[in-house]
Structure 1
């Protein structure tokens, strides 16, 4: 009985060993094909990390330069087991190519490119490493720079300029070199106007906004070329600079030239009539406005207009506003029937 058991047990052990050897020699799965294929490292910049295992966090065995020839044993789940420069490890399959970088395939030769030009109004255009505002800057391209366009996507254009490759915003490229005037552009009409401010100067700003930075200060009578007017702002050119000014401070005629309509403006003469003290002449028709001059009783004034209880006048060579109730048509003391005010303002 013992003799029968021992041979049977030995046969079972030998059969198990043979079965395991057969499994280990079995062919790889379909996804692990390309056994001992020759491929090449293809990276745009830097080098490719060869890791100990097929995982991003695995330790780095070696760094492989662009174009390095490798022997691929198997590929699985985006990783390739390879041998390169006498070492074995794993690399990402997306950085391997069947052709050595620099050798053009037939399909690559048919890629079409176009030529465009940098068209920025001021400064320079940033060429970035990728199509993102936060990507690092590869180069700065000046207005009119010729670029070779490879592709355009999502507002970004892949270009080559001055021997470098990168991405620029599509909106700053044009098919024609800046400076070439199109026929349509030549028909733009402009008008001539003049700065008309009563005091000080007029701010010409970078854009049509009160908060925009000041480009220049324009004195009264400055001639300007008006390109367009919108929302109370005029786009102009003055003294060789472009900018925006408020339309209310521009006039079609140069200040100081009297038009026919202006010549018909009528003025009247009146007199300061206060019971005591003097009369304040203010900068505007408001009791809180700053005082321009102090007028004594009987002062002769020229009245330009009267509105809302205030008179716009000229007295002693100065312009300002006074309260109407402290003016009379006749000089105080001449026996007129004018009412004498009770107080000054």
Structure 2
């Protein structure tokens, strides 16, 4: 008889252990359900809400964020706001985040996003008739240099450019005549033996 009682007791303990194991496994599985984020944004006032099922409370809006704790099914938590699938909550005095789809939020509504208005076509402004008919102003005429014959006050070099270091094309003797073209800051442009040359203006009698 003792053996019979012992066998019954063993079976009862085993069955009880199996039931507890299954129950624990079920709760654990629910507690660590992945907090899948949604793409819908909801609006609702801050309030106390309840968990639809066991769900993790995380430190950030990510399934990889640190787990601060677990809400049991029906457990209340203070809802602050929803941010596209993640609800900001106050959990045991700390800020946490829970997947919005795991919470019963009274007065929850889908927020509407205002569509951007298409840009208005800009009509190009037509030029006025006055502007179209106005003739362009003429550029000022360039006066041609007036040449004249001048004489050298003294013997002086005729150079290829307006510089003392420029190549010497020849030499004007005192009183020798040359065709003067124009004066440029102390250098007179002249025609010397059919070529353009330059002579120091101070050495020429321009009057």
For Structure 1 versus Structure 2, the TM-score category normalised by the shorter chain is 0.3 to 0.5
**Quick check: which one's strand share is greater?**
1
TM-score when scaled to structure 2?
A: 0.39
TM-score when scaled to structure 1?
A: 0.27
More contact order relative to length (CA 8 Å, sep ≥ 6): 2
**Quick check: which one's helix share is greater?**
2
